Amino acid sequence: MQQRFHRRVQDCVMAAATPHRRPPPPLLDRACALFLDVDGTLLEFASRPDLVALPHGALETLGRISDRLDGAVALVSGRPLRELDALFAPLRLPAAGLHGQQFRGVDAPDERTADDDALFTLRREASLLVERHPGIVVEDKGANLALHWRAAPEAEVALRALAERHLPQLTGYRLQPGDHVIELVPAGVDKGRAVLTLMAEPPFAGRTPVFVGDDLTDEFGFAAADAAGGWSVLVGTREPSCARYALRDPSAVHHWLRRNAAREQGHA
């Protein structure tokens, strides 16, 4: 079933190959459930994943929207939950970490992880590449491994080749390309499945899902939200994309969120 869903997402992206102008999303109503990617959506990108911070007032805005939607606001991220908790403290929203391997707020099945020896070998070879390309970041997420080349663009080919070469030894895994990153994740995990898992539980059940994200990993979330009669919102100008709406950048996302928070007080 998961493979069929992945094929549907790929077909959707290919069908949307012609760039087109997407309108900004409407404001949320009280029947919505809001799902937010983090990096590239709420956070600007940095040379390393640990060199980021939320804009002033963002936590208060998110908290007000969560109150308005009776708690139906969730983070859906490639980061582990511990990093999300540190970034958003003291606010603790429902969340799906590691693309949906980790959940807070719902009961979800544990995902199979790769053989420790195979991951260790991959980490060791990636560290050797770091010596040749100091800008590479090897982000060890435990069961997942992300290889970043934002600060070392010349290393992209080598990192992609490294990931592809090790994939056959990582049984049950797939490659997840992203913005200046490639990640090895369990094959049955993606942000669309994360959204569907959250939507099966209160306070999300029965609401209209709204998924906001920027990266290729977020296409699964777009497809899941659209299939459930909701909205998909692309951050940026990446093409192709299945998204129906768009916001220019994280600053535009926060402006839209502030308008939604102000709506509760009659200021929108």
Query: What length is written for the chain?
Result: 268
Are 180 and 240 found together in one domain? no
Domain boundary among 186, 210, 242: 186
Q: What is the largest CA-CA distance in the chain?
A: 57
pLDDT on residue 193: 95
Are 130 and 254 found together in one domain? no
Digits of tens for pLDDT over the chain (268 positions)? 455 555 655 556 545 545 568 999 999 999 999 999 999 999 997 767 677 789 999 999 999 999 999 999 999 999 999 999 999 999 999 999 999 999 986 554 444 455 678 888 898 999 899 989 999 999 888 788 899 998 999 999 999 999 999 999 988 898 988 889 999 988 889 999 999 999 999 999 999 999 999 999 999 999 999 999 999 999 999 999 999 999 999 999 999 999 999 976 554 4
CATH of the domain at 169: 3.30.70.1020
Are 202 and 258 found together in one domain? yes
Are 128 and 202 found together in one domain? no
Are 243 and 197 found together in one domain? yes
Are 210 and 160 found together in one domain? no
CB 40 within 8 A of CB 215: yes
Could you identify the residue written with the tokens 């299945």?
A: 242
Are 39 and 154 found together in one domain? no
Q: Do the domain assignments include residue 157?
A: yes
Are 83 and 180 found together in one domain? no
pLDDT on residue 29: 96
CATH of the domain at 14: 3.40.50.1000
Instruction: Report how far apart, in Å, the C-alpha atoms of 6 and of each of 70, 180, 216 are.
Output: 31, 21, 12
Q: Do the domain assignments include residue 90?
A: yes
pLDDT on residue 93: 96
pLDDT on residue 244: 96
Q: Which residue numbers are catalytic? A: 37
Distance, CA of 263 to CA of 268 (rounded, Å)? 4
Are 134 and 181 found together in one domain? yes
Count of domains in the chain? 2
67: containing domain: 2-110+189-263
Are 48 and 77 found together in one domain? yes
pLDDT on residue 114: 52
Query: Token pair for residue 245?
Result: 């709406």
Domain boundary among 135, 152, 186: 186
Domain boundary among 146, 166, 186: 186
Whole-structure pTM value: 0.82
Are 239 and 181 found together in one domain? no
pLDDT on residue 267: 46
Are 139 and 93 found together in one domain? no
Q: Do the domain assignments include residue 181?
A: yes
Q: Do the domain assignments include residue 234?
A: yes
Q: Do the domain assignments include residue 268?
A: no
